[in-house]
Amino acid sequence: MISISLCMIVKNEEKVLKRCLDSLAPAMDEIIIVDTGSTDRTKEIAREYTEKVYDFTWQMDFSAARNFASSKATKEYIYTADADEYLDEENLQKLFQLKHLLLPEIEMVQMLYCTKGVNNTVYNFEKEYRPKLYRRLRPFVWIDPIHETLRTKPVVYDSQIEIIHEPEGNHAARDLEALNRVGNAEDFLSKKLHHMYAMELFHSGSDDDFKRAIPVFEKTLSQENRSLDEVKEAFCVLARGYRISGNLSGFFGCALKDTATEGCAEICCELGTYYESIGNIPEAVLWYQNAATETESILDIRTSGEIPVRALKRCGVDL
């Protein structure tokens, strides 16, 4: 049977931390909780479960905090958890079974992260696999019978354990602030964060959030090594930002360049919104219909569904 260290980073989680720890503690051999500046009872609650509660000065970097927590672990595997998630009894038993049956060659276990739609922010789905359990010290193994090499990719197992993610509210404002800061600071925003930032904007961003994002996504269009997917994401964000800012030249430039490729529902909705705002209802209807029936979403599935359908009803058209 494997041994597991639970590693968590927390801040002001007194409302949900006990629920999380009650659900996970029975399966854990060690609990490590790193606090990044709580002003409520979070640390007091944490100490009811473990003596290994550490303070960590927040550096605006979640990875740095998680790495610090992991550095304190001593067991074979590390389980990472956020305070607003928990396991029900059925999935706790699945975790116990995993502890007993996990093959030694498996270095990472993914679990299904289940978020209720009402609390979902950046994602367009309610279930997704996430790496949750991983070997603390990874052995390196030679592979291939000739021209042998070290295996660098971990051996991953996709389990059927379902983690319930039930936050008190969404963290969109916090996440957008962090993504904007990183986007402005970095010369080249990673493909992953580029996609996450664009998705978060379309799902939860305010007008001001889109305006602040303009310099970040303008950089994308000046970078030759960006993929077509990243360029189209930038067109979507910039079209919204330019429209809100009144930069019609920039708005139509992005919209026309996007539709010159395979158009997307986000741009169609932006064009529909613009024409509706100036009272050109026939043109607005054309673009809303394109969003609803002729194109696909790339950032927010609502732009090919409920958003244009509602807009068409405002314009007197029922699909």
Same domain, residue pair 54 and 36: yes
pLDDT (0 to 100) of residue 123:
47
- Residue ending a domain, among 148, 165, 182, is 165
Q: Mean pLDDT over residues 11-17, rounded?
A: 95
Q: Are residues 181 and 243 in the same domain?
A: yes
How many domains are contained in the chain?
Answer: 2
Structure tokens belonging to residue 220: 């994308």
Determine the pLDDT at residue 291: 96
Report if residue 115 sits inside a domain: yes
Least confident of 114-123, 125-134, 271-280: 114-123
**Residue 318 banded pLDDT, cuts 50, 70, 90:** confident
Where is the domain boundary, 138, 165, 192? Answer: 165
Q: Is the pLDDT of residue 71 over 60?
A: yes
Of 144, 146, 148, 108, nearest in space to 129 by CA: 108
Mean pLDDT for all residues in the chain: 92
Residues 140, 225, single domain; the answer is: no
Query: Is residue 112 predicted with pLDDT exceeding 50?
Result: yes
What pLDDT does residue 144 have?
Answer: 84
The 10s digit of each residue's pLDDT in 172-200 is 787 899 899 999 998 999 999 999 999 99
Q: Is the confidence at residue 163, as pLDDT, over 60?
A: yes
Region 88-101: what's the mean pLDDT? 96
Same domain, 189 and 269: yes
Q: Are residues 142 and 219 in the same domain?
A: no
Q: Which residues contact 88 (CB under 8 A, 6 or more apart)?
A: 23, 164
Looking at residue 69, which CATH number applies to its domain?
3.90.550.10
Using DSSP's 3-state secondary structure scheme, residue 213 falls into: helix
Q: What is the pLDDT of residue 193?
A: 94
121/205 same-domain check:
no
Whether the predicted model's global pTM rises above the 0.85 cut: no
Whether 152 and 186 map to the same domain: the answer is no
pLDDT tens digits, one per residue of 194-244: 999 999 999 999 999 999 999 999 999 999 999 999 999 999 999 999 999
Q: Are 272 and 259 in contact (CB under 8 A)?
A: no
Mean pLDDT to the nearest integer, 266-287: 96
Q: What are the backbone dihedrals phi and psi of residue 4, each rounded to the nearest 5 degrees, phi first?
A: -130, 135
- Token readout for 18 is 């006990």
306: in domain: yes
Please, which pLDDT band fits residue 261 given cuts at 50, 70 and 90? Answer: confident
What pLDDT shows up at residue 117?
A: 60
Instruction: With respect to residue 132, please indicate whether it lies within any of the assigned structural domains.
Output: yes
Residue 125 has pLDDT above 60, yes or no: no
| pLDDT value at residue 115 | 84
- The helix (H) or strand (E) run that includes residue 8 is strand 4-10
Residue where one domain finishes, among candidates 165, 196, 220: 165
155 shares a domain with 9? yes
> Tokens 């304190």 appear where?
72
> The tokens 């289940």 sit on which residue?
114
Residue 157 has pLDDT above 90, yes or no: yes
Residues 146 and 216 in one domain: no
pLDDT of residue 169: 62
The pLDDT score that the predictor gives to residue 259 is: 86
With tokens 């970040």, the residue in question is 216
pLDDT for 246: 96
* Structure confidence at residue 124 (pLDDT): 43
Is 118 a residue whose pLDDT tops 90? Answer: no
Q: And the tokens for 36?
A: 């990044």
**CATH code at 310?**
1.25.40.10
User: In angstroms, rounded to a whole number, what is the distance separating the alpha carbons of residues 56 and 79?
Assistant: 19
Residues 216 and 286 in one domain: yes
- Structural domain of 246: 172-314
319 domain residue, yes or no: no
Q: Cβ distance 123 to 172 under 8 Å?
A: no
Query: Is 293 found in the same domain as 263?
Result: yes
